[in-house]
Amino acid sequence: MKKSPRKQVRTKGTAPTLSRSNVAEVKLLSSTAYKLIMDALFSGRIQTGAFVSQGELVELLGVPIQPLRDALRVLEAEGYATIHPRAGIEFVSANIELIRSTYQFRTIIECAAVRNYAEKAPIENIDALLADHLAFIDDIEKSGIGKNGLKRLYEIEMKFHGDLIRILANPLVESTERRLQNYTSLILTDRPETIPLILRTLREHIKVLEACRDRDVDLAATEMAAHLTLAMHRAMGL
């Protein structure tokens, strides 16, 4: 008995295989779209709490639709946006609940981090951070905030909080802290940075750093908790 010929599986077409260079290009475009969206949120071109269509985002940002969709999926996973199918994209709202949750989470992480920092950070690193803060305060008191004052404040903030987190040498904590810093930036987007507010923030940092320099672990954690509580109140307009 003859065996029947093996049936061939027919397909309407084969999906194209992307080359490595094409995959890298897609990833780059998606990463660029992600950065453009975050920059638009930080600058206020996209308002927190806004509800927009994909078409509006394409027009606003000048990116192709597919990289935009890839970026939006990442933003949704990170909690910055919610995708409503066939309706639009809703960006996170900087409301009281987000403020409370963000600063509560930061307090948990950064109070633990500052204890390690107070124990282990080289004194020369602490002294350098203190010197940056004191020099900035001196410049503000003499000449005001200046043209690059807000940029300088941002750099000092990132250095201060970043050094505390890096002392833990924990990539998971570092990635979480970066996300929390992004939430903080979104929360503060519409808040005017006045000289009194800036000076208050810098002086709170100094109290933390002085406790770290003295290797007073408990005081460093207490001052950090106080700083983040006051920062939360400022964000709430209290």
Are residues 107 and 66 in contact, defined by beta-carbon separation less than 8 angstroms?
no
Token digits of residue 49: 């709490």
pLDDT at 22: 52
Which amino acid, residue 201?
T
pLDDT at 238: 80
pLDDT at 21: 52
pLDDT at 20: 53
Quote the CA–CA distance of 51 and 81 in Å, as a whole number: 9
Q: What is the dihedral of CA 27, 35, 75, 80, to 10 degrees?
A: 170
**95-138 pLDDT per residue, tens:** 999 999 999 999 999 999 999 999 999 999 999 999 999 999 99
Quote the CA–CA distance of 180 and 207 in Å, as a whole number: 22
CATH class, domain 96-235, is mainly alpha
pTM of the model: 0.78
Q: Give 200's contacts (C-beta < 8 A, 6+ positions apart).
A: 230, 234
Domain boundaries, the chain: 22-91, 96-235
Q: Which residues in the chain land under pLDDT 70?
A: 1-27
Helix, strand or coil for residue 82? strand
Token digits of residue 61: 């940002």
Q: Give 165's contacts (C-beta < 8 A, 6+ positions apart).
A: 109, 110, 113, 173, 174, 177
Token digits of residue 29: 């475009």
Fold of 22-91: Arc Repressor Mutant, subunit A (1.10.10)
Cα dist from 107 to 5, 19, 87, 218, 232, whole Å? 71, 45, 36, 14, 10
Are residues 102 and 183 in contact, defined by beta-carbon separation less than 8 angstroms?
yes
Q: How far is CA 44 from the centre of its chain?
A: 15
pLDDT at 18: 41
Are residues 172 and 113 in contact, defined by beta-carbon separation less than 8 angstroms?
no
Helix, strand or coil for residue 190? coil
Quote the CA–CA distance of 12 and 156 in Å, as a whole number: 59
